[in-house]
Amino acid sequence: MSIFTGAGLALITPMHEDGTINYDEMERIVNDQIEGGTDAIIVCGTTGESSTMTHEEHIETIRACVQMVKKRIPVIAGSGSNCTETAVYLSKEAEKAGADGLLVVSPYYNKATQNGLKKHFTEIAGSVDIPLLLYNIQGRTGVNIAPQTIADLVKEVDNIVGVKEASGDLSQVASIFSLTQGDIDVYSGNDDQIIPIVALGGKGVISVLSHVAPKETHDMVIKLLEGDVETAKDLQIKYIPLVHALFSEVNPIPVKAAMNMMGYQAGPLRMPLTEMEEEHKKLLRQEMIKVGIKCVD
């Protein structure tokens, strides 16, 4: 059974001005997202700035998110690392904290071989009893998880159930479905490719756009799955300019700026990320207003 179908939110980690985590505001965002139709929360991923968290913060943030969600929708915890031992540790702790599933990015910087990737993911999956999604994002990690590697892992490891595909390569996504005969849960990792990936057989998206348009991102997936292609297609096209603005600088710089514009206390970013440039911020505000998102700041 899939961990979720629809739009999963790649949750930001709101910060106080001193850089500590603002758990009160996180709960506000989580509740608003669930009310808005979001189908799952992905905590401590790239958008959540997990790479700048201590292990203690990482685990506490997962635990806090699980408590906030209260089983209303699934919580998927980012638990990847370029050190297999660390990823195993974080994965075990995420399971103890009550996460419903894991999102495990391919090892970055090390640039493991495909054989090394298989051993890495197999060891992590074998350390827990909850389902695991691979996270393929070569642009950040320097290595692509090949379609055959993904297919082998899904076939050979019971609790590796799918992949967040952010390669941007739709031919690769098609190959994944072909090699697995469709027996895999694929989620788009790019908000501008929701429709093509779901049309190929995907279960949905792990989304940044959902922060500012939760209902619309959910509807984009569900309408297509229900056969309402026109509505789904129109939503994808309508939100493309906003998606581009949300990625005009490296994620999560723009989405934190957008949340602050909407009146949330998303707060600052942790170094080495810096605040959004004014030119890009102006464009982002314009695109938000065009689709009817109210900016209070």
pLDDT in tens, 138-172: 999 999 999 999 999 999 999 999 999 999 999 99
Active site residue 155: no
Spatial contact of 189 and 164, defined as CB atoms under 8 Å apart: yes
Residue 137 forms part of a structural domain:
yes
Cα-based distances in Å from 48 to 10, 118, 143, 170, 259: 7, 26, 21, 26, 13
Whole domain around residue 53: which residue ranges? 6-229
Name the domain count of the chain: 1
Confidence (pLDDT) at 1: 72
Spatial contact of 97 and 44, defined as CB atoms under 8 Å apart: no
Residue 218 forms part of a structural domain:
yes
Which residues are bridge partners to 188 per DSSP?
165, 205
Cα-based distances in Å from 25 to 31, 75, 97, 208, 253: 10, 17, 20, 17, 18
Assigned token pair, 197:
């990936």
User: How many whole angstroms separate alpha carbon 61 and alpha carbon 56?
Assistant: 9
Assigned token pair, 121:
């993911």
CATH code, domain carrying 116: 3.20.20.70
Active site residue 89: no
Which entry of 118, 135, 223, 256 is annotated as an active-site residue? 135
Predicted confidence (pLDDT) per residue in 43-70, tens digit = 999 999 999 999 999 999 999 999 999 9
User: How many whole angstroms separate alpha carbon 31 and alpha carbon 203?
Assistant: 23
Q: Is 159 exposed, middle or buried (0-12, 13-18, 19+ CB in 10 A)?
A: middle
Which residue ranges in the chain fall short of pLDDT 70? Answer: none
Predicted confidence (pLDDT) per residue in 17-31, tens digit = 999 999 999 999 999
Residue 87 forms part of a structural domain:
yes
Residue 66 forms part of a structural domain:
yes
Phi-psi sector, 167: left (phi>0), alpha (psi -120 to 50), beta: alpha
Residue 296 forms part of a structural domain:
no
Confidence (pLDDT) at 235: 98
Q: Global pTM? A: 0.97
What is the 3-class SS of the chain, one letter each residue?
CCCCCEEEEECCCCECCCCCECHHHHHHHHHHHHHHCCCEEEECCCCCCHHHCCHHHHHHHHHHHHHHHCCCCCEEEECCCCCHHHHHHHHHHHHHHCCCEEEEECCCCCCCCHHHHHHHHHHHHHCCCCCEEEEECHHHHCCCCCHHHHHHHHHHCCCEEEEEECCCCHHHHHHHHHHHCCCCEEEECCHHHHHHHHHHCCCEEEECHHHCCHHHHHHHHHHHHCCCHHHHHHHHHHHHHHHHHHCCCCCCHHHHHHHHHCCCCCCCCCCCCCCCCHHHHHHHHHHHHHCCCCCCC
Which entry of 164, 203, 256, 281 is annotated as an active-site residue? 164
Residue 62 forms part of a structural domain:
yes
Residue 171 forms part of a structural domain:
yes
